[in-house]
Amino acid sequence: MNSDAVRRAVAELDSADGPGKEVLRDAVRALLSELAAKAPGRTVEVRVPPYGAVQCVPGPRHTRGTPPNVVETDPVTFLALAAGRVGFADAVADGRISASGTRADLSELLPLASAVA
């Protein structure tokens, strides 16, 4: 886990330029790994292009084609979610998150500990 990148990226969220590309990339990848560890499974695919994607949440396993439960967002929104700066439902409502499928609500899993430490 690259917690230094996570701390730095969260600290830079409020700066005029936001987190730098490399810091944001490292932070997103670390947070995706933490999410997968927090909710191991293969029921929901969480995508944060262009930096990564993980499968998580226990339940029915998906093996072919597009998964039935997908959450997709941009890197800055994912960082804000992980840090507790925005709620999952609010981000879905205002279009910053695309969530499809009956198990795609990640409200119970966010924020992530490393992003708020």
The model's pLDDT over 47-64, given as tens digits with 9 standing for 90+, comes to 999 999 999 999 887 677
User: What is the identity of the amino acid at 114?
Assistant: S
For the entire predicted model, the pTM comes to 0.93
CATH no. for residue 48?
3.30.1050.40
pLDDT per residue over 96-115, tens digit each? Answer: 999 999 999 999 999 998 87
Confidence of residue 2 (pLDDT cuts 50, 70, 90): low
What domain count does the chain have?
1
Range of 91's domain?
3-116
Stretch 28-56: mean pLDDT: 96
